[in-house]
Chains A and B, each alone.
Chain A
Amino acid sequence: MSQRHLPLWEVFVRSRRGLDHKHIGSLHAADAEQALLAARDTYTRRQEGVSIWVVKSSDIHASQFEDEGAFFDPAEDKVYRHPTFYDVPEDLKL
């Protein structure tokens, strides 16, 4: 098909005040305004949200599968970052 394609957008919805926007899905739209309206019509039909972000999929930069080892494994041995690592009197409020 020789036709140009409608760009893909990622949709993030804040389900209620106080919470982060969370990725909920994607859709096709010609531009940001249309993406926003389509996101409202597609992803908030059951009161799923109070705020919407749309981001062009091609604008997202992601870590790659082969980065996984180098990016995330080095955090494995930093157990001292977690509160349970420490030995303190159990009956003490701390």
Chain B
Amino acid sequence: MATPAPHDEQARFDAVIAADEKIEPRDWMPEKYRRNLVRQISQHAHSEVVGQLPEGNWITRAPSLRRKAILLAKVQDEAGHGLYLYSAAETLGTSREEMLDDLLEGRAKYASIFNYPTLSWADVGAIGWLVDGAAIVNQISLCRTSYGPYARAMVRICKEESFHQRQGYEIMQTLAQGSPEQQAMAQDALDRWWWPTLMMFGPHDADSAHTQQSMQWKIKRQSNDELRQKFVDQTVEQAARIGLTIPDPELRWNEARGHYDFGEIDWDEFQRVLGGNGPCNRSRMRDRRRAHEDGAWVREAMLAHAEKHNRRAAGAAA
């Protein structure tokens, strides 16, 4: 393949971005744009895959058959979303195996939220309501990302995710209207998941290593702080409606800003969990590694079978 003159290509790439059009897989793109995308999309994919674990923890214990089916379908969707995202990243020339190796060998990150444990049934509700709620805020914004396959994956994911938050909220609502024990369970889950959910949006814009460049390239369309604010604003009313209290004494409406003010995140905790020392970092990675290693013989066998089958077919044709 002839290498076109870089400045022409750069100009064309810039023009496509400026015109709000999409970059597609076979287009020329700056190497940094490609690397940035692979990092972000694969991180996103890893998050979906690791994200199966905390909720998966409750599938076998779901308190009704209806809830069991819903939760199983929901966790299955996370696997599907991981698959769509790995596929999008693969169009950039990085194989799923490379991405998986990066995850399993600790070089890649995934959403830190999944390093917190699910301790009661209400946690399943809280994750759907808060964690998926936060994810949706972020993902709706990403439907307009500049890389075509990523944007298309996000559109499909947003469509499928729309039931995730609702089922979580429905669980919380049912508990909040239930017995005192159930109400306590719901409040406890909100208390534990609130702050980690706010951390999902990442560091403040001023401290975010990737934000500025990603915004220029229109990979990210809204900043961490903007998205976090949007999430807080929409969630306050949802909590109030079912009589649950958001665990933040500084939370109050700011008429002048037209937004809720809220307290400062514990950034030490954020860094600690991100750095591998959250409550479940090790067990999540152990589970993923075990699934991968225990499955090695299966993947080997299916390739061996397909090769035998192809040889036999070729032999029969000859």
Binary per-residue interface labels of chain B (294-312) against chain A in the complex, 1 for a CB within 8 Å, 0 otherwise: 0010011011011001100
Nearest residue in B to A43 (C-beta to C-beta)?
B80
On whether A8 and B97 interact (CB within 8 A), knowing A30-B303, A30-B305, A65-B28, the answer reads no
Q: Are B83 and A42 in contact (CB under 8 A)?
A: yes
Nearest residue in A to B98 (C-beta to C-beta)?
A1
Q: Are B87 and A25 in contact (CB under 8 A)?
A: yes
Binary per-residue interface labels of chain A (22-57) against chain B in the complex, 1 for a CB within 8 Å, 0 otherwise: 000111101100100000001001100000000000
B96 interface residue, CB < 8 Å from A?
yes
Q: Are A62 and B26 in contact (CB under 8 A)?
A: yes
Count the A-B residue pairs with Cβ separation under 8 angstroms: how many? 46
Chain A residues near B309: list those with CB within 8 A: 31
On whether A6 and B299 interact (CB within 8 A), knowing A30-B306, A31-B306, the answer reads yes
Interface of chain B residues 255 through 309 with chain A (CB within 8 A):
296, 299-300, 302-303, 305-306, 309
Q: How distant is the Cα of A25 from the Cα of B87 in the complex, in angstroms? A: 7
Q: Are B83 and A34 in contact (CB under 8 A)?
A: no
Q: Are A28 and B302 in contact (CB under 8 A)?
A: no
A5 interface residue, CB < 8 Å from B?
yes
Chain B residues near A66: list those with CB within 8 A: 1-2, 4
Binary per-residue interface labels of chain B (58-97) against chain A in the complex, 1 for a CB within 8 Å, 0 otherwise: 0000000000000000001000100110010010000111
- Among B80, B84, B97, the residue within 8 A (CB) of A3 is B97
Q: Are B97 and A1 in contact (CB under 8 A)?
A: yes
Chain B residues near A1: list those with CB within 8 A: 97, 101
A4 interface residue, CB < 8 Å from B?
yes
On whether A6 and B303 interact (CB within 8 A), knowing A1-B101, A31-B309, A42-B80, the answer reads yes
- Size bin of chain A's contact surface: 20 to 34
Q: Are A5 and B83 in contact (CB under 8 A)?
A: no
Chain B residues near A58: list those with CB within 8 A: none
Q: How distant is the Cα of A8 from the Cα of B156 in the complex, in angstroms? A: 20
A64 interface residue, CB < 8 Å from B?
yes
Chain A residues near B26: list those with CB within 8 A: 62, 64-65
Nearest residue in B to A32 (C-beta to C-beta)?
B306
Say how far B201's CB is from chain A's closest CB, in angstroms: 27
Nearest residue in A to B26 (C-beta to C-beta)?
A65
Nearest residue in B to A4 (C-beta to C-beta)?
B303
B27 interface residue, CB < 8 Å from A?
yes
Q: How distant is the Cα of A42 from the Cα of B296 in the complex, in angstroms? A: 21
Q: How distant is the Cα of A28 from the Cα of B303 in the complex, in angstroms? A: 11
Say how far A48's CB is from chain B's closest CB, in angstroms: 10
B160 interface residue, CB < 8 Å from A?
yes
Q: How distant is the Cα of A6 from the Cα of B153 in the complex, in angstroms? A: 21
Q: Which of B4, B76, B83 has the most CB of A within 10 A?
A: B83
Nearest residue in A to B296 (C-beta to C-beta)?
A3
Chain A residues near B4: list those with CB within 8 A: 66
B residues within 8 Å of A by Cβ? Answer: 1-2, 4, 26-28, 76, 80, 83-84, 87, 90, 95-97, 101, 153, 156, 160, 296, 299-300, 302-303, 305-306, 309-310
Between-chain CB contacts (< 8 Å), 5 pairs: A25-B156, A27-B83, A31-B309, A64-B1, A65-B26
